[in-house]
Chains A and B, each alone.
Chain A
Amino acid sequence: MSELDVSLLMRRTRLLLRFYPPGYRARRGEEILDTLLETTRPGRGWPPAREVASVIGGGLRARRAANLNQGLRASLRHVGILAAAMTMVQTPAALLVVVGEPIANVRPSGLPSYAELGIALGSLLVVVALVLQPHFVMFVLRVAWFYAG
């Protein structure tokens, strides 16, 4: 195995650790990385699939635990961000519904209007983005880049 492969494996494994919340990663990250690398046979570019799956599961579990322990103030801030984001997405969508009403009467029955699709898609995006959080969105993009590369 060339040194390039080892460094790629290391980078991918470190990326995988991003599933864990920052505090947890600081405490346990290096240790988990060490164990993950031991489960990987030489010459492989990724740890085994079941190891990857277990780390994703463990990371999300640790995130949930960290979110539950974050205290009232941080929880309220999260709720505030959520509410603001929902409003930001839904206000234009609601406007579209009003404007689109005359057009909606013309559309063939049974098909959803663009406005309805907009609301559904917008809400979905906000929920996904909030669940994942900004760091996590970046992380997903980087994973996609890794797969593409």
Chain B
Amino acid sequence: MREPTYFVLAALLRGPLHGYAIMKRAGELSGGRVRLATGILYTALDRLTAEGHVELVSEERVGGRVRRTYGLTEGGSAALRAEAMRMAEAARLVIESGAEKKAGIAARKLRTT
């Protein structure tokens, strides 16, 4: 799963949002790293809807224009969770071995002094 996709799904964790709100929320959640542009967002929403990860929740008219709200499906939540677990595993590999290394260096220092 690519990072923008991950953050689009993550943006919907707390509940359904409309297009512009998804862009803003994905930006906030990623610390500004994922800056979705309109065209990219809708291409992603098309794909995620086709895959069954995201669904249209409601449709309202605001000042003559359509505003559609999208939400996570069960499949979407599961896919997001699986990806989060995969990244957590990958992160643990590095972070824990980093801690061991530090401990190792400290022990060696003690021995030499």
A residues with CB within 8 A of B: 28, 30-36, 38-39, 47, 50-51, 53-59, 61-62
Of A39, A61, A62, the residue contacting B38 (CB under 8 A) is A39
Q: Which of A28, A35, A51, A54 has the most CB of B within 10 A?
A: A35
Q: Is there an interface contact between A34 and B37, defined as CB atoms closer than 8 Å?
A: no
Q: Is there an interface contact between B37 and A51, defined as CB atoms closer than 8 Å?
A: yes
* Distance between A65 CB and nearest chain B CB, rounded to angstroms: 8
* Interface check B1, CB cutoff 8 A: no
Main SS at interface, chain B = helix
State in angstroms the CA–CA spacing of A71 and B37 once bound together: 31
* Interface check B94, CB cutoff 8 A: no
Q: Is there an interface contact between B66 and A35, defined as CB atoms closer than 8 Å?
A: no
Interface size on B (CB < 8 Å)?
Answer: 17
* Interface check B41, CB cutoff 8 A: yes
Main SS at interface, chain A = helix
Residues 70-97 of B at the A interface (beta carbon under 8 Å): none
* Interface check B101, CB cutoff 8 A: no
With A34-B19, A39-B20, A58-B43: A51-B38 Cβ-Cβ less than 8 Å: yes
Interfacial chain B residues near A51, Cβ < 8 Å: 37-39
* Interface check B65, CB cutoff 8 A: yes
Q: Is there an interface contact between B20 and A54, defined as CB atoms closer than 8 Å?
A: no
With A33-B65, A34-B19, A34-B65: A28-B39 Cβ-Cβ less than 8 Å: no
